Structure 1
Amino acid sequence: MTRDELHAAALALPGAHMDVQWGDDHVYKVAGKMFAATDGAYSNLAFKATDIAFEALTLGGRAIPAPYLARAKWVKFDDLAALDADEVRGWLATSHGLVAAKLTRKDRQGLGLT
C-alpha cells in the first residue's frame, strides 16, 4: 500500500481526520480518538484490531504488538509498502468501527454513525 492510498482510505471513513503528533507521526482519528497511526515517512502502520485479529496477526508473525498500545489490542506492521491495499482498507474500517463504537451517542450522531 502506498502513502497516498493509506491517507485516502483513512480519511474516507466517516468523521476521520489526521493530526501530526509526537514529532512527525501521522495519527488518524475519529472524534479525537486514534484508530490508526504511521510515521511521517509512512514506512509502517499501527491500528486497533479485534481480539481475534490481534491474536492471528501477532501469533502468525505478520505483525507485532504495537509498542505502548498492545494492551489495547493494537498491532504494528513494519513495512506499509508490503501490505495489500484492500486488506489494509478492511483493517482501517474495522479499527475505525471499533473506536467509533466507544464514542458517546451524541458524538456518533454528530458524525452520522447511528
Structure 2
Amino acid sequence: MTYDEFNAFCGSLAATSHVIQWGGAHVWKVGDKVFAIGGWHDDQESFTFKVSEMSFEMLKEERGVRPAPYLASRGMKWIQRYDESFLNDQDLKRYLRESHRIVSLGLSKKRQKALGLNQTAGEDDR
C-alpha cells in the first residue's frame, strides 16, 4: 500500500480528518482522536493502527509487524506494519477499519451521534 492509497482509504471512512504532523507522518483522526498513522520515522512505508488487546497479542511477534514505536511502549495497544510479510493490504484495510471503530467508540455518545458514528437502527434519542 502506498501513502496515497492509505490516505484514500482512511479518507473514505466516516467522520475522518487528516493532518501532517510528527515529522511528516500522515495522521488520520476520527472525532479529533488518532486512529491511523502513515509513516513516522522510518524510511520505509509503515502504517500504524490501534487494535484490541487480543489482536495485539496475536500480531506483536509476526513478521512484518511490531508493537508501534512510542505508543506500545506506553502500554497502548498499537501495531505498526512495516512490510507485507504477514499482513497484506486487504488485511491492513480491515485493521484500519477496526481501528477507526475502536477509536470512535471511545468518543462520547453525544460526539458519536453528532458525527453520525456507531448509530444503530431503532436507537432512541437520549
* TM-score, normalization by structure 2: 0.80
Q: Is 1:109 aligned to 2:75, yes or no?
A: no
Percentage of pairs with the same residue: 35
- Work out which of the two has the higher radius of gyration on C-alpha atoms and give 1 or 2: 2
Conservation of the 8 A alpha-carbon contact between 2:50 and 2:78: yes
Match in the other structure for 2:55: 53
Alignment of 1:1-114 (within 5 A): 1-39=1-39, 43-70=45-72, 71-79=75-83, 83-113=87-117, 114=119
Which amino acid letter does the alignment assign opposite residue 95 of structure 1? S
Conservation of the 8 A alpha-carbon contact between 1:10 and 1:16: yes
RMSD between aligned residues: 2.1
* TM-score, normalization by structure 1: 0.88
Conservation of the 8 A alpha-carbon contact between 2:64 and 2:83: no
Match in the other structure for 2:124: none
| 1:90–1:36 distance in 2 versus 1, CA, 3 Å | same
The structure where helix makes up a greater share of residues is 1
Which amino acid letter does the alignment assign opposite residue 34 of structure 2? M
Deviations 1:36-93 (A, max 9, x none): 102277711111011111111113344111112111100112236x852211110111
Deviations 1:1-29 (A, max 9, x none): 22222111111111011111112111110
More divergent stretch after superposition (91-100 vs 38-47): 38-47
The alignment covers a number of residue pairs equal to 114
Unaligned runs of 5+ in 2: 120-126
Higher-RCO chain (CA-CA 8 Å, sequence separation at least 6): 1
| 1:59–1:39 distance in 2 versus 1, CA, 3 Å | closer
